[in-house]
Amino acid sequence: MHFELLRREKIFNGRIVNLVVDHVKYSSGNEAAREIIQHPGGCVVLALFDNNDILLVKQYRYPIGGDVIELPAGKLDANEDPQHCAERELREETGYVANRWTELTAIMTTPGFCDERLHIYMAQDLSMSPHGQTLEEGEQTIKLSRVPLVEAIAMVEREEIVDGKSIVGILMGERQLSG
């Protein structure tokens, strides 16, 4: 290890994230403070139809003050299995359920200051849930669209899809399908 943890300060405990400051001593003897956002992680879903269309959601994201086009996704609940989270988020945000699931990858979103890990799945053999969408209060503005996977890749290239987790999910899904 390149450092020794001297002490940890819990600065903020929020509903979604916590902020801690670790005071560390490097092997050089120098000391520093490292700010860390603790996040429970989440799941991302590339919902793929038999004709290679996928589902995208467009939703308002408060931190950037605008709409973002992305794959359905959501936060893990405490001790929740990642695939269960993916199934729940697909059902809630889109109204669809899937009979076949493939884990594509897992990513660390911003490891320079945050411990968030996202599990990315491909969902296939889709059908509508009898309950439809069950959006949370902050998701009421979600607009659902169905686009060909090749068009989603073009949207990434044109920077219409700029959300990192969605870019990874789309490109990993395309790679999985091409063998």
| CA-based nearest residue to 133, from 148, 124, 143 | 143
Residue-number span of the structural domain to which 98 is assigned: 42-107+117-177
Q: pTM (2 decimals)?
A: 0.92
Beta bridge partners of residue 128, listed in sequence order = 96
The pLDDT of residue 140 is above 90: no
* Residue 100 in domain: yes
The pLDDT of residue 77 is above 90: yes
Cα–Cα distance, 93 to 27 (Å, whole number): 47
* Residue 91 in domain: yes
How much is the pLDDT for 1? Answer: 66
Is 137 labeled as catalytic in the residue annotation?
yes
Q: For strand 143-148 and strand 53-61, is the pairing parallel, antiparallel, or unpaired? A: antiparallel
The pLDDT of residue 137 is above 70: no
Of 4, 89, 116, 137, which is the active-site residue? 137
pLDDT: which is higher, 110 or 179: 110
* Residue 112 in domain: no
How much is the pLDDT for 141? Answer: 78
Share of the chain above pLDDT 90, in %: 88
Share of the chain above pLDDT 70, in %: 97
CATH number of the domain that residue 161 is part of: 3.90.79.10
What tokens does 59 get?
């939703």
Cα–Cα distance, 94 to 82 (Å, whole number): 18
Indicate if 83 and 137 belong to the same structural domain: yes
Domain count, the chain: 2
Indicate if 58 and 9 belong to the same structural domain: no
How much is the pLDDT for 3? Answer: 87
| CA-based nearest residue to 92, from 48, 29, 53, 138 | 138
Across the chain, mean pLDDT equals 94
Cα–Cα distance, 177 to 104 (Å, whole number): 11
Indicate if 71 and 24 belong to the same structural domain: no
